[in-house]
Structure 1
């Protein structure tokens, strides 16, 4: 299973390189089901893996001229605030077992995986549907961009998800960016959000297996290089629906497994 996990980790980078998101959607299931990492720890590991991989991708897009720094910071700063609130104040105080009904108990780990699977299903629908919002020419709405950034930070803090599938539509709608600019700027935002979130976990003393993390990250970086090279020749928007169907299937698999077979 570990060999399969390392091989699957390449897809994390491929996804980020091609469509500017989806890395965490793959990272959490890979860590939980292939490497047997508990879901709470997986959210922390995901921040490091996705953040490191996105950093490489954002640099590549910077060289291609696809980064919009002002939009990235406007989105990322409120995101960082909500991430720190969730991971350092709220998350540590959530009980391991939330409640029980007869012999069925709902744990924090179960809640993480169920919420994550619902998010996967919602994200997959947005990937599958055609989206032409980037073709409009409108002024950048920095206030709405900041509000959405704060909301995405809540998701990143709770689930360890970079939120690229939410960031990109926000950049297309409210920052008036092209698809390639939205992908590059999304990677920078994911880098900032994930790095701050992981740094917060280090600060509160979460146990981290760095050799393991470096191994997964190395494979994801290989995938990022592959995805970035492919994106130069193929528009990531064309591949997004295919990835969306894969995410949809994975989302239903996770919610079925966790709800019906976890107790």
Structure 2
């Protein structure tokens, strides 16, 4: 199968994940770039951040039009995470890849376990009374993990918004896209020197298919219940965590 077809297919899947689930794009994009398109781990991380940034921004626009973005809490999360994402992004390039992979898998599994817990009834209205200190503190931690792991952070942002600020799932999905866009851009600042060595012949089609897939993912999200999306997201996280842990240990 040609690299172009693989790039288009993988990009469509990443876009669907970001559009429907508000995350999972980077954790799907990085393995696809490495195992399907032959990127090195370092190049795949940088390319993934580029792809996820433009795709998340597209999906953010679609969710904002539907009123699913809580701008105040999202801005607090994003602003608090900018500096930590940039700092840990610079540190991450000096750490062994296996260490990062195992840490990534563990965090993804923990996030999935929290997402599978039932959310208390009526909790979805708690986001109307946003606590800026709590949102900023969680956002700073999220930004640090985003920079360290080289991902957009949606797979962590959605559980954080659901469990820490008690967002309903659709609002968490939409708001996470704002956090992803800002955190991915902050991480890219520390990796800008690597962009010139990337294979744009693969990245271009990948990103284009991801953008189109994000619009389809947004429509899919409107047809699935919030609890259904939450369970689907948790299962995606568990699958990714298992795959990356096996890959790191074999």
- Asked if these proteins are the same fold (TM beyond 0.5), I'd say yes
Task: Give the whole-Å Cα distance in 1 for the aligned partners of 2:53 and 2:68.
Answer: 18
Name the CA distance, whole Å, in 2 between partners of 1:184 and 1:36: 32
Change (3 A) 1:194 1:226: same
- Tell me the equivalent position of 1:36: 38
Residue 140 (structure 1) aligned with residue 140 (structure 2): no
Rg comparison, structure with higher value: 1
Rounded to whole Å, the distance in 1 between the matches of 2:118 and 2:130 is 22
* 1:169 CA drift (Å): 3.2
Change (3 A) 1:259 1:5: farther
Residue segments in structure 1 that go unaligned for 5+ positions in a row: 96-107
Counting matched residue pairs gives: 246
- Contact 1:140–1:176 (Cα < 8 Å) also in 2: no
Q: Distance in 2 between matches of 1:8 and 1:204?
A: 22
Match for residue 116 of structure 1?
104
- Let me know the Cα RMSD of the aligned residues: 2.4
What residue in structure 1 maps to residue 232 of structure 2? 242
CA deviations on 1:67-99 (whole Å, 9 max, x unpaired) are 2222122111121100111123x234x26xxxx
| C-alpha distance 7-148 of structure 1, shift in aligned 2 (>3 A) | same
1:32-56 CA distance string (max 9 Å, x none): 2222222222221121111111100
Q: Is the 8 A contact 1:66 1:184 kept in 2?
A: yes
Partner of 1:102: none
| Residues 179-198 of structure 1 aligned to structure 2 (within 5 Å) | 179-198=169-188
Q: Secondary structure at the match of 1:135?
A: coil
Alpha-carbon shift at residue 170 of structure 1 (Å): 2.9
Structure 1 position 177, deviation (Å): 3.8
* Structure 1: distance between partners of 2:7 and 2:117: 29
Deviations 1:199-252 (A, max 9, x none): 331157763333322211111112211111112222353133234334323322
1:86 aligns with 2:88: yes
Distance 1:65 1:142, change over 3 A: same
Q: Contact conserved, 2:21 with 2:233, CA < 8 A, in 1? A: no
Which 10-residue stretch deviates more, 160-169 or 14-23?
A: 160-169
Q: Which residue of 1 aligns with 2:221?
A: 231
Contact 1:19 1:236 in 2 (8 A): no
Q: Hey, what's the Cα distance between the residues in 2 that align with 1:45 and 1:172? A: 29
Distance 2:76 2:136 in 1: 6
1:126 to 1:255, Cα distance in 2 relative to 1, 3 A: same
Which residue in the other structure is 1:167 paired with? 157
TM superposition score normalised by structure 2: 0.86
1:158 corresponding residue in structure 2: 148
Gap change, CA 1:132 and 1:50, over 3 Å in 2: farther
User: What is the TM-score normalised by the length of structure 1?
Assistant: 0.82
Kindly tell me: are residues 204 and 18 of structure 1, through their superposed partners in 2, closer, same or farther at Cα, counting changes over 3 Å? closer
Change (3 A) 1:206 1:19: same
1:198 positional shift: 1.6
